[in-house]
Amino acid sequence: MEFSYFCANGANFLALAEAGNVNLTEEQIDFCRRINLYNIEARYPNLSIPSPTLQKAKEYFEQTKEMMEWLIKLL
């Protein structure tokens, strides 16, 4: 299946941000693009997507935490 299939079926943080009228910075957009890949892997485990290194996973975790805190402030 193609990447566009997954994006069309709810595995896209950028589409969710757009649907919620959330304005993202270029840095946040770039982060969402990178993290979307792992969201797809979690939902479709049969796909072959390389796992991030431990260091990269920690970075993604911290960035995700920061973004969540920012989003909560928008509520």
pTM across the whole model: 0.69
Q: Give the distance between the most distant pair of CA atoms in the chain.
A: 37
12/16 Cα distance (integer angstroms): 7
Residue pLDDT tens, the chain, 75 long: 444 544 454 557 888 888 888 999 999 999 998 888 877 766 777 887 788 899 999 999 999 999 999 988 988
| Residue span of the structural domain in which 23 resides | 3-74
Burial of 6-39, coded b for 16+ CB within 10 Å and e otherwise, reads beeeebbbeeebeeeeeebeeebeebbeebbeee
Total tally of structural domains belonging to the chain: 1
